[in-house]
A and B are shown apart, each in its own frame.
Chain A
Amino acid sequence: MAFKHLINYKKFLSLSAMLLLLGTNLVMAQAASSNSTATDTGNTSAQSAGMWTSVGYYTLLFVVICIAVAIIGKIFKVYDLTLQMQGKKGVNWNNVMATCFIIFLGAGLIGVYYSFSVQGGMIIGDAVSVHGKTLDSMFWTTFGITFVVFLITQILLFGFVFKYKGSDKRKAYYYPHNNTIEKIWTVAPAIVLTVLVVFGFLTWRKITNTVDAKGEPASLNIDVTGHQFAWELRYPGADGKLGKKNYKLVNGTNKLGVSYDDKNSFDDLQADTLVIPVNKSVRLNILAQDVIHSVYMPNFRVQINAVPGLPTYFKFTPTATTAEMRNKLDQPDFNYHLYCNKICGGSHYNMQKLVLVVTEAEYQQWLSQQKPYLTDQLKKELKLAENPLYKQTVLQTRLASIN
């Protein structure tokens, strides 16, 4: 019986090997030819024929694998039955499974190590913002605690599973409860979590307090507006203040709906790149026009949603310029990015803005080259020449510059 199967098995093996070889050749040839036809003549029927061949091949391959599994299963069964017929014990599946688990534990630990060393090496570098450094230290503390718990519990789980595998000779230990142990492992995580919570709560409160305190040097306010699928930037002019906005004023020339009833609006600047001076507190004034977006700059550990109708803020201080990072990482093309991190529609995956961190001098130079948001066309449209507020503001600025 088993012998017969063995013959079948061999035959089957050679057959499947042949199929594999042949099929691969065929599909490769097809793929090559369909590629050439696609580029040369765009012959779609040849392409679809090629497609169906590969689909058929892969389906066949899967069926063959299934049959192989079925046959191996049958052989196992026959082997097991012959053992039993000869009065020996059959395969002890409890032992097999327990061994599999301990192998899994070993392989898993190696896999975890591999993953941490290879993929772990690909993760984002240290934070380049003041609050980000606190977050990083909190992250690594949390990681240290949880990783130890992870290792211990997984090792115990698979270790117990291996050690206490079923046997007819043994009876399990009747152990319904132990209040002392249970109290310990309720209180222990509670204490650890309390520490993390307190640490986290204080940090969180500090980060989210975005209003400049008295005596603190004023933050640089930058207006960031999200819409499908781009970010618009507006910098304050010489007065350091951003003018108000009103969504009802949005049109082709006034894309952000800046309100010119506010005299702070007249000198605001528009920009293509988010350029920020290093070591200076920056406060982003964030709003969305259509749907929810999210301002995400992982290098700075910055994220907050941009919500229509609800202004949000994020205050942070970058600590390294783009040039410094390029040197440090030895990547001449390194750049910081701001990208959208809240699903916002079809091109969500490509809603980004270049971020440049520069020295204060470079920043001032860059700022002086930026164009005013108030374009000539917009002036004409709003008939600002006759607007008393505008005239007055322009006059005051001129006087100030003369002085």
Chain B
Amino acid sequence: MSTLSVHDHGVAHHDHDHEHHHNESFWTKYIFSQDHKMIARQFLITGIVMAVIAMILSILFRIQLAYPEKSFPLMETLLGRFAPGGRLDTNFYLSLVTIHGTIMVFFVLTAGLSGTFSNLLIPYQLGARDMASPFMNMLSYWLFFVASVIMMASFFVEKGPAGPGWTIYPPLSALPKAMPGSGMGMTLWLISMTLFVASQLMGGINYVSTILNMRTKGMDLWKMPLTIWAFFLTAILGILAFPVLVAGVVLLIFDRSFGTSFYLSDIVIQGQVMPMEGGSPILFQHLFWFLGHPEVYIVIMPALGISSEVIATNSRKPIFGYHAMVYSLIGITVLSFIVWGHHMFVTGMNPFLGGVFMITTLIIAVPSAVKTFNYLATLWRGNIQFTPAMLFAIGLVSFFISGGITGIFLGNAALDINLHDTYFVVAHFHLVMGSAAIFGMLAGVYHWFPKMFGRMMDEKLGYLHFWLTFIGAYLVFFPMHFMGLDGVPRRYYSFTEIESLKQWVSVNTFITWAAIFAALAQVAFLFNFFYSMFFGKKAPQNPWNSTTLEWTTPVEHIHGNWPGEIPTVYRWPYDYSKPGHDEDFIPQTVPFSQTLSSNLPHDFEDHASHDNHEWVNTQKSNEEVK
């Protein structure tokens, strides 16, 4: 009830007194803010900081892979006992891999991406004053922040951060004796992730309730931009999948700390027979991937939503097949819950089950293919404006194709026998969900930066950033496919010990240098981002000539978003380059009565209301008369 009353207060307040100014202190405005715009910016900046950290971690372990025999005194200076003699410790290498994965998947591409753009765009694009429960929204950010701090704190415990890979399979993660990374660092990892999931649930429930209840007049579901559809379905995925991870994690905590054996059985470690019996390590994998697979769609769907919006706006064309785009998102959402077993083909899971998961997995490729084709059709005969956001969206489509195609190999249980856990997998997911999602996020940042900070980012630096990153990412991940095809396993500290893998050291050196260049290119972004935040050119109200509602708000942020009444929505969000209209875009707030010269039967296909029928009928009879 309390959230409801807060919400009521908000509405009443804005309806009666728009110009009333809050006396906000520094604390309530910038730190414990309940305003969706500020929370979005908090998520974004925290996400960027975490991304930079995770990127530096990846460069550290890339250096180890490129120069497995060389010692770097600087490493010892920076990392101390984790790099004795200037060479990374083998266990610390695994910790780096683990934390890089965890931060990138959860803290950057889930919280940083969904958190930022759901918070920013859901109220803006739907015409709401704020989120349904602003207080819960604030809690969501702060739980995320605390989770990030705990995750980073694990670098300062004696045995180092968690090390059993981001999938933390027990028994490796359950037995502190098995590796240093299963000690205190693992405990912190589990605590951090539990808080993180709490944060995601609060955010997700907020997003869903806002989208379902707080749309402005005229904004029915089929008039929502694809971004909102993507955020909506992502939030549903998160709400249904994340609790399962918590269940899995809590059982793991029990196994680690209270002597239960949910995941443990028949274990002899370092010659010592352990008392646990009756558990199953595979059970954890089922629970983990029940979240883990929807998680990759939680990562990619918002990116696809953002790119749909950016591609349509900058091609000056309606997104091709709006309904097909929505239905494929829904298809992906539903199917993503029944494909998790494709991560477990060779784990000893019942092979028949593997066969079933293979069928569902390859079905999910169909909606993904439809989305790709629709992007191509949107670009066809467009009038493409190359803003930096558009470049990143095009890059996303390219990565989505390159990475998606290799999924057809991995989703095939039979082919997976030889490819499972090799660099082929690393290449696959870094392209399709790593690079593609991060490009979606960057496209979003470049596109909505004027909305977030009221200033423009530098375009030329954006171009530079895009090209260096785009080329860099391909140089890094493309050669990895071939390593995988040669049977090079992932999470190896070095490839010097196994005879047949030694030939790949030279390729690894190349990949590392490509990664270093791509990482340095991010300085162009960071400088651009933080410099433009304070000194960028002042943004106009609608810099990209876009149709959606957020561009009808004033450049200066005000509490409640619109100074006057919330605008009413009359049309779908993709009326670009409509024949018969003088400008190449018609905002959603323009009624059809003002655009008589450009109205088409297509505008009314979704709405069988009386007026529209009448209009369509007159049109038809007019045409007959002609």
A interface residues with partner B (beta carbon < 8 Å): 47-48, 50-51, 55, 62, 66, 69, 73, 76-77, 93-94, 97-98, 100-101, 104, 108, 111-112, 115, 119-120, 122-124, 132, 134-135, 138-139, 142-143, 146, 149-150, 153-154, 156-158, 160-161, 164-167, 170-178, 181-182, 185-186, 189-190, 193, 196-197, 200-201, 203-205, 207-209, 227-228, 247-248, 250-252, 257, 289-292, 294, 296, 298-299, 301-305, 307-310, 312, 333, 335, 337, 339-350, 352
Assess whether A204 is in contact with B498, with CB atoms less than 8 Å apart.
no
Assess whether B385 is in contact with A196, with CB atoms less than 8 Å apart.
no
Cβ contact of A176, chosen from B409, B474, B602, cutoff 8 A: B602
Docked complex Cα distance between A100 and B1 (Å) = 57
Nearest 9 A/B pairs, CB to CB: A298-B487, A309-B265, A208-B351, A97-B386, A309-B266, A119-B482, A173-B381, A172-B577, A349-B492
Q: In the complex, what residue of chain B is closest to A95 when comparing beta carbons?
A: B386
Shortest CB distance B345–A (Å): 8
Assess whether A124 is in contact with B485, with CB atoms less than 8 Å apart.
yes
Known: A166-B316, A257-B268. 19 other contacts (CB 8 A): A69-B524, A94-B385, A115-B478, A122-B503, A138-B412, A139-B415, A142-B409, A146-B409, A157-B394, A172-B383, A291-B178, A294-B346, A296-B421, A305-B348, A310-B282, A345-B179, A348-B493, A349-B494, A350-B497
Shortest CB distance A330–B (Å): 15
Docked complex Cα distance between A185 and B485 (Å) = 30
Assess whether B317 is in contact with A135, with CB atoms less than 8 Å apart.
no
Assess whether A197 is in contact with B486, with CB atoms less than 8 Å apart.
no
Q: A66-B523, A185-B373 are in contact. Are A304 and B348 (CB under 8 A)?
A: yes
Docked complex Cα distance between A340 and B492 (Å) = 10
Assess whether A166 is in contact with B383, with CB atoms less than 8 Å apart.
yes
Answer whether residue B212 sits at the interface, using C-beta atoms and an 8 A cutoff.
Answer: no
Docked complex Cα distance between A166 and B352 (Å) = 53
In the complex, what residues of B have CB within 8 A of residue A73's CB? 460-461
Assess whether B418 is in contact with A165, with CB atoms less than 8 Å apart.
no
Stretch at the interface among B122-130, B252-260, B400-408: B400-408
Answer whether residue B451 sits at the interface, using C-beta atoms and an 8 A cutoff.
Answer: no
Q: A115-B478, A138-B414, A142-B409 are in contact. Are A177 and B498 (CB under 8 A)?
A: no
Stretch at the interface among B104-112, B195-203, B302-310, B463-471: B463-471
Shortest CB distance A27–B (Å): 13
Assess whether A157 is in contact with B379, with CB atoms less than 8 Å apart.
yes
Docked complex Cα distance between A151 and B175 (Å) = 47
Cβ contact of A142, chosen from B268, B322, B408, B421, cutoff 8 A: B408
* Chain B positions 246 through 279: 1 when the CB is less than 8 Å from some CB of chain A, otherwise 0: 0000000000000000001111111101000001
B interface residues with partner A (beta carbon < 8 Å): 73-74, 77, 89-91, 94, 164-165, 169, 171-172, 175, 178-180, 264-271, 273, 279-282, 315-324, 346-348, 351-352, 354-355, 358-359, 362-363, 365-366, 369-370, 372-377, 379-386, 391, 394, 397-398, 401-402, 405-406, 408-409, 412-415, 417-418, 420-422, 459-461, 463-464, 467, 470-471, 474, 478-479, 482-483, 485-487, 489, 491-495, 497-500, 503-504, 507, 520, 523-524, 574, 576-579, 584, 602
A and B contact pairs by CB, cutoff 8 A, 24 listed? A97-B391, A115-B482, A120-B482, A123-B486, A135-B418, A161-B379, A173-B382, A176-B320, A177-B320, A200-B412, A204-B355, A289-B268, A290-B268, A294-B346, A294-B420, A298-B418, A303-B418, A305-B348, A307-B347, A309-B265, A310-B265, A310-B281, A341-B422, A350-B498
Assess whether A207 is in contact with B73, with CB atoms less than 8 Å apart.
no
Cβ contact of A292, chosen from B169, B180, B351, cutoff 8 A: B169
Docked complex Cα distance between A346 and B366 (Å) = 40
Assess whether A207 is in contact with B417, with CB atoms less than 8 Å apart.
yes
Cβ contact of A186, chosen from B90, B319, B366, B483, cutoff 8 A: B366
Assess whether B576 is in contact with A166, with CB atoms less than 8 Å apart.
no
Assess whether B482 is in contact with A176, with CB atoms less than 8 Å apart.
no
Docked complex Cα distance between A175 and B378 (Å) = 8
Assess whether B362 is in contact with A193, with CB atoms less than 8 Å apart.
yes
In the complex, what residues of B have CB within 8 A of residue A296's CB? 421, 487, 489
Shortest CB distance B85–A (Å): 11
Docked complex Cα distance between A149 and B482 (Å) = 19
Docked complex Cα distance between A77 and B422 (Å) = 47
Cβ contact of B280, chosen from A124, A177, A310, cutoff 8 A: A310
Cβ contact of B320, chosen from A142, A175, A308, cutoff 8 A: A175
How many A-B contacts at CB < 8 Å in the complex?
352
Main secondary structure, interface of A, reads helix
Q: In the complex, what residue of chain B is closest to A164 when comparing beta carbons?
A: B382
Shortest CB distance B150–A (Å): 23
Cβ contact of B420, chosen from A185, A257, A303, A337, cutoff 8 A: A303
Cβ contact of B318, chosen from A100, A175, A189, cutoff 8 A: A175
Docked complex Cα distance between A257 and B267 (Å) = 11
Docked complex Cα distance between A292 and B170 (Å) = 8
Assess whether A291 is in contact with B384, with CB atoms less than 8 Å apart.
no
Q: A172-B576, A310-B282 are in contact. Are A196 and B317 (CB under 8 A)?
A: no
In the complex, what residues of B have CB within 8 A of residue A186's CB? 324, 366, 369-370
Assess whether A193 is in contact with B479, with CB atoms less than 8 Å apart.
no
In the complex, what residues of B have CB within 8 A of residue A303's CB? 346, 417-418, 420-421
Assess whether B386 is in contact with A166, with CB atoms less than 8 Å apart.
yes
Cβ contact of B376, chosen from A153, A251, A252, cutoff 8 A: A153
Q: A174-B317, A349-B90 are in contact. Are A204 and B354 (CB under 8 A)?
A: yes
Assess whether A307 is in contact with B348, with CB atoms less than 8 Å apart.
yes
Shortest CB distance B574–A (Å): 7
Q: In the complex, what residue of chain A is closest to B369 when comparing beta carbons?
A: A189
Cβ contact of A250, chosen from B179, B268, B316, B471, cutoff 8 A: B268
Docked complex Cα distance between A26 and B268 (Å) = 55
Q: A171-B383, A174-B577 are in contact. Are A122 and B504 (CB under 8 A)?
A: yes
Assess whether A124 is in contact with B369, with CB atoms less than 8 Å apart.
no
Docked complex Cα distance between A349 and B271 (Å) = 21
Docked complex Cα distance between A300 and B333 (Å) = 37
Cβ contact of A333, chosen from B91, B405, B409, B499, cutoff 8 A: B499
Assess whether B282 is in contact with A307, with CB atoms less than 8 Å apart.
yes
Assess whether A227 is in contact with B268, with CB atoms less than 8 Å apart.
yes
In the complex, what residues of A have CB within 8 A of residue B171's CB? 290-292, 308
Assess whether B77 is in contact with A48, with CB atoms less than 8 Å apart.
yes
